[in-house]
C-alpha cells in the first residue's frame, strides 16, 4: 500500500464541508442555436455557473480519453475511467484494433478454442452491436473476425447483429445490415455457409446493463439461442418490415427477429458451438455473458442451455471474471483515485440511478466491481424507470438530489460524487422537448444542491463525461436528421467554492481533459497528486 500513500498539500487549510462532484452525463458545450438542446433549455443555474471565474472546458473524446483518434466520440465508460484514473489508458477500441493489426487476437487461447469447436463440426456464432459507432463495437472488427474464419476454412458461421440507432443515425440499420449480408453471401463458397441468424434493437434485445431489465437479455436469448421470435427471410427484410409497420420506429427499439428458411430458424446455438460476443465495451456485455456461463442463473428461464465455448471480445468484469475467456486483454487500470482515497481514510459517497450506477462505481474504479473499502465508502443505487426515457425525462434526478443533500448535510463524508443520467439517456432518444426537460431537470437538481453545499461550507464541482444533449440534429442540404449519438464537443468544468478556506485559481493547462479532474479533486481534499497523474486544473493556496 506504500505506493498509494499521498503527500499532504502545503499551506492547505482544511474546511468543514465535503467536496461534491456532479457529473452531468451527456451535457456538453455545443454551438448554441436551435440544434443545441443544452442552449435551448431553461438553465439559470448552469448559466450562472458558466460565468464563474473557475470555469474551463475539458476535452472528453478521442485521444483525450484513450480512443484511437480524435474523430472518435467519447462515452460514459471511457469518460468515467479517465475521471477516476487520473491519466489516460488505451481503451477497448484501440486495444482491439492493435490486436487485430498485429494478429495477436488470433494467437491467444480463446481464439484457438473457437477454432477447435469449429474443427469439431460446431458453428461459430458472433453476437454484438452492428455499427461503426466505435462506442461498444465496430463493424470492421467483426469483418476481421469473419475474414479470419474464412481464412481458417471455418465451415459454418452465424452472425446475430444488434441494431444500433444510438451511437449512429437512428434509422441507419440497413447501412450495416445490407453490406453484412452481402459479405456473408460472398464468403459462402467452397463449402462454407455464413449467414445472419437473428438480431434486434439494442435497447430491447440482449444489451441490458446493471440488471435494469433482464427481459432484454431473455428476448435476445430466445432469438439467438432458441430461435424463437418473429421470423423473416433476411435481416434486411426484418428491418424494412418494421420500418413499414411503424414509420416512427428507430433502430435501437426494433423488436427481435429470427432468420428462417422453410419455417425453421437457420442458426440456433447448439451443443459444441462457439459463441463470441464481439462488443469491446463492458457494461452491456456482462449479463449476456452470465446467461451463457452461469450454471445457476435465476434472472430468467433459459429453457435450454447449450454446452458451448463462450468468449467475449474483452473481459467485461475483471473482479468477477466475466466472461472467463476473452480475445483481447482489457486496459489494466490501476491506482485509481478511489484506491488512494481509501488508503488515506477519506470518507466517500457515490450515487446514481441504475443506468449510470456502474459508471460512478465500476468504471470510476478502473473497471472493478464492488467496494474498494466498505469501511470508508458508501454506494447508493436508485432504481431507474423501465419506460423509454423520453416519457420521463426527469428520470431519477430528484431522488438522487434528495439523497445527496442528506449525505452532504450529515457531515459523514469528505467526498461525494453523483451522476445525473438525464442528458445522455434522454439525448439518445433524439426527441427535442424531452431533451430540454432532461437538461432542465439537471439544472433544477443543481439549484437544490448548491444551498446544501453552501450550508456545509464545502466545494462544488460540476462537469460532464461527454456530450450528447448539446446536439439535437444535424442539417445537410436543408434537411434535418435527428442526432442521437454522442458529440465531439468539450464539456464544462466548474468549481464553486463555498468554503473560502484556500485561494483557488485555474492552473492554465493547455487543452485540459477529463483525466485532469482526479488530481484536482485530490488538491481540493488537501493532497498532492501522485507523480504519474495528469496535472491538476487548479492551484490551491
Q: Are the beta carbons of 536 and 522 closer than 8 angstroms?
A: yes
Please report the sign of the dihedral spanned by the C-alpha atoms of residue 98, residue 103, residue 106, residue 107.
negative
Phi, psi of 381 (to 5 degrees): -110, 125
Contact 495, 459 (CB under 8 A): yes
Q: How far is CA 348 from CA 82, 252, 371, 408, 448, in A?
A: 18, 36, 11, 11, 20
Walk me through the domains of the chain, giving residue ranges and CATH numbers.
2-90+333-540 (3.40.720.10), 93-328 (3.40.1450.10)
Distance of alpha carbon 141 from alpha carbon 215, whole angstroms = 28
* CA–CA distance, 491 with 480 (Å, rounded to integer): 24
Record the cell numbers describing residue 143, joined without a space: 469483418
Write the CB contacts of 296 (distance below 8 Å, at least 6 apart in sequence). none
d(CA 392, CA 72): 30
Q: What is the pLDDT of residue 481?
A: 85
> For residue 495, what pLDDT is reported?
98
Q: Are 201 and 167 in contact (CB under 8 A)?
A: no
Quick: pLDDT tens for 211-220: 889 999 999 9
Most distant CA atoms of the chain, gap in Å: 78
Residue 36, burial from CB neighbour count under 10 angstroms (0-12, 13-18, 19+): buried
Integer CA distances (angstroms), 325 to 140, 217, 292, 329, in order: 22, 20, 12, 10
**pTM (2 d.p.):** 0.78
| β-bridge partners, 340 | none
DSSP character string of 273-323: -EEEE----STTTHHHHHHHH-TT--SS--S-----EEEEEE-SBTTTTBS
Which three cell numbers mark 12?
A: 492547505
CB atoms within 10 A of CB 162: 32
d(C-alpha 230, C-alpha 127), whole Å = 18
- Taken in order 141, 146, 147, 149, the sign of the CA dihedral is positive
User: Which residue blocks in 152-192 are alpha helix, DSSP H?
Assistant: 173-187
- Residue 6: DSSP 8-state: P
Residue 10, pLDDT score = 93
Distance in angstroms (rounded) separating the CA atoms of residues 318 and 55: 36
| Nearest partner of 54 among 527, 495, 536, 518, judged by Cα | 495
* Residues that are catalytic: 76
Q: In 3-state terms, what secondary structure has residue 362?
A: helix
Contact present, 486 and 71 (Cβ < 8 Å): no
Percent of the chain with pLDDT over 90: 89
pLDDT tens profile 56-71 = 999 999 999 998 888 8
95-102's contacts with Cβ under 8 Å and 24+ in sequence apart are: 95/280, 95/314, 95/328, 95/329, 95/330, 95/331, 96/138, 96/141, 96/280, 96/313, 96/314, 96/327, 96/328, 97/68, 97/138, 97/141, 99/327, 99/328, 100/141, 100/144
Question: Can you give the pLDDT at residue 217?
Answer: 98
pLDDT at 423: 97
Cα separation of 37 and 245, whole Å?
Answer: 30
Q: Are 411 and 346 in contact (CB under 8 A)?
A: no
- Virtual torsion, Cα 77, 82, 84, 87, nearest 10 deg: 150
Q: Which among 350, 470, 365 is positioned nearest to 417, based on CA atoms?
A: 350
Distances in Å between the alpha carbon of 533 and those of 89, 294, 362, 528? 11, 38, 20, 10
Distances, alpha carbon 449 to alpha carbons 21, 31, 402, 458, 504, in Å = 11, 27, 9, 11, 21
Q: Name the strand (E) or helix (H) holding 445.
A: helix 432-456
Q: CA 170, CA 155: separation in Å to the nearest integer?
A: 34
Among candidate residues 425, 418, 414, the one with its CA nearest the CA of residue 398: 418
The per-residue pLDDT string of the chain (541 residues; one tens digit each, 9 = 90 and over) reads 458 899 999 999 999 999 999 999 999 999 999 999 999 999 999 999 999 999 999 999 999 999 888 888 888 989 999 999 999 998 889 999 999 999 999 999 999 999 999 999 999 999 999 999 999 999 999 999 999 999 999 999 999 999 999 999 999 999 999 999 999 999 999 999 999 999 999 999 999 987 889 999 999 999 999 999 999 999 999 999 999 999 999 999 999 999 999 999 999 999 999 999 999 988 899 999 999 999 999 999 999 999 999 999 999 876 678 999 999 988 889 999 999 999 999 999 999 999 999 999 999 999 888 999 999 999 999 999 989 999 999 999 999 999 999 999 999 999 999 999 999 999 999 999 999 999 999 999 999 999 999 999 999 999 999 999 999 998 877 888 888 889 999 999 999 999 999 999 999 999 999 999 999 999 999 999 999 999 999 999 8
Q: What is the model's pLDDT at position 319?
A: 62
Amino acid at each position: 500500500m506504500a505506493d498509494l500513500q499521498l503527500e499532504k498539500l502545503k499551506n492547505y487549510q482544511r474546511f468543514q464541508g465535503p467536496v461534491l462532484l456532479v457529473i452531468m452525463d451527456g451535457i456538453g458545450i455545443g454551438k448554441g442555436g436551435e440544434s443545441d438542446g443544452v442552449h435551448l433549455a431553461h438553465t439559470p443555474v448552469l448559466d450562472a455557473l458558466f460565468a464563474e471565474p473557475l470555469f474551463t472546458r475539458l476535452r472528453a473524446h478521442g485521444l483525450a480519453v484513450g480512443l484511437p483518434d480524435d474523430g472518435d466520440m467519447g462515452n460514459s465508460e471511457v469518460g468515467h475511467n479517465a475521471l477516476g484514473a487520473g491519466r489516460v489508458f488505451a481503451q477497448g477500441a484501440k486495444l482491439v484494433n492493435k490486436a487485430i493489426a498485429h494478429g495477436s487476437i488470433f494467437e491467444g487461447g480463446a481464439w484457438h478454442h473457437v477454432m477447435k469447436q469449429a474443427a469439431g463440426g460446431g458453428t461459430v456464432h458472433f453476437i454484438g452491436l452492428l455499427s461503426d459507432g466505435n462506442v461498444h463495437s465496430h463493424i470492421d472488427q467483426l469483418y476481421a473476425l469473419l475474414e479470419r474464419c474464412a481464412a481458417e476454412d471455418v465451415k459454418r458461421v452465424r452472425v446475430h447483429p444488434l441494431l444500433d440507432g444510438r451511437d449512429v443515425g437512428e434509422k441507419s440499420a440497413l447501412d450495416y445490415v445490407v453490406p453484412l449480408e452481402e459479405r456473408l453471401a460472398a464468403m459462402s463458397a467452397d463449402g462454407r455457409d455464413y449467414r445472419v441468424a437473428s438480431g434486434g434493437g439494442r435497447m430491447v434485445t440482449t444489451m441490458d446493463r446493471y440488471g435494469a431489465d433482464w427481459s432484454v437479455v431473455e428476448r435476445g436469448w430466445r432469438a439467438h439461442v432458441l430461435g424463437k421470435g418473429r421470423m423473416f427471410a433476411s435481416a434486411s427484410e426484418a428491418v424494412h418490415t418494421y420500418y413499414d409497420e411503424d414509420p416512427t420506429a428507430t433502430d435501437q427499439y426494433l423488436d427481435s427477429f429470427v432468420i428462417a428458411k422453410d419455417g425453421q430458424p437457420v442458426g440456433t446455438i447448439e451443443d459444441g458451438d462457439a459463441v463470441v460476443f464481439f462488443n469491446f465495451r463492458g457494461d452491456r456485455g456482462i449479463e449476456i455473458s452470465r446467461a451463457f456461463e452461469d450454471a445457476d442463473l435465476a434472472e430468467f428461464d433459459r429453457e435450454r442451455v447449450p454446452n458451448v465455448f463462450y468468449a467475449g471480445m474483452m473481459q467485461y468484469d475483471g473482479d468477477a471474471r466475466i466472461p472467463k475467456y476473452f480475445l483481447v486483454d482489457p486496459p489494466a487500470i490501476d491506482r485509481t483515485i478511489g484506491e488512494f482515497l481509501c488508503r488515506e481514510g477519506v470518507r466517500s459517497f457515490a450515487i446514481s440511478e441504475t443506468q449510470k450506477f456502474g459508471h460512478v462505481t465500476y468504471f470510476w474504479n478502473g473497471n472493478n466491481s464492488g467496494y474498494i473499502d466498505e469501511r470508508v465508502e458508501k454506494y447508493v443505487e436508485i432504481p431507474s424507470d423501465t419506460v423509454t426515457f423520453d416519457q420521463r425525462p426527469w428520470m431519477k434526478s430528484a431522488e438522487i438530489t434528495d439523497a445527496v443533500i442528506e449525505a452532504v448535510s450529515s457531515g459523514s463524508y469528505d467526498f461525494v460524487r453523483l451522476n445525473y443520467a438525464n442528458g445522455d439517456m434522454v439525448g439518445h432518444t433524439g426527441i427535442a422537448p424531452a431533451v430540454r426537460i432532461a437538461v432542465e431537470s439537471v439544472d433544477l437538481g443543481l439549484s437544490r444542491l448548491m444551498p446544501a453545499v453552501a450550508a456545509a461550507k464545502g466545494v462544488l464541482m460540476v462537469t460532464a463525461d461527454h456530450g450528447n444533449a448539446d446536439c439535437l440534429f444535424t442539417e445537410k442540404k436543408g434537411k434535418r436528421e435527428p442526432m442521437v449519438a454522442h458529440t465531439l464537443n468539450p464539456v464544462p468544468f466548474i468549481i464553486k467554492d463555498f468554503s473560502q478556506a484556500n485561494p483557488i485559481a485555474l492552473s492554465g493547462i493547455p487543452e485540459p481533459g477529463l483525466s485532469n479532474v482526479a488530481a484536482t479533486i485530490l488538491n481540493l481534499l488537501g493532497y498532492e497528486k501522485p507523480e504519474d497523474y495528469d496535472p491538476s486544473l487548479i492551484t490551491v493556496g
